[in-house]
Structure 1
Amino acid sequence: MLTIVWAYLGLQVLIFAVLGVAVWLRRAEPVPSDSDDGPDERWLPSAGPVGG
């Protein structure tokens, strides 16, 4: 029973590690943006106009 628990936890850690590396690599490579007047809107919570 304990082996199943350790295998499950190891699988979760492996999945999160792969996802984390994938997200890190996607953020590290330059992302082409449509406009050069600000950060890429894809990383913002809302893509609408921001007041300020």
Structure 2
Amino acid sequence: MKVCSRCGKQIRPGEGYHEIIPDSLSGARPTEYLHKQYCRRSSRQEAPIRR
């Protein structure tokens, strides 16, 4: 299963995507996948804001 690194949603079969393999001098890094169509970045907030 491939997951978009930008929006966090699954890349479905038949959908276009970019595969990015980051350079790393210290060790292995996971391959990143991005939708070819622009998608919105997911929020990184983990806890709700109290009001």
Q: TM-score, normalised to structure 1's length?
A: 0.17
Larger Rg: 1
Q: Answer 1 or 2: higher relative contact order, Cα 8 Å, separation at least 6.
A: 2
More strand by share: 2
Q: TM-score, normalised to structure 2's length?
A: 0.18
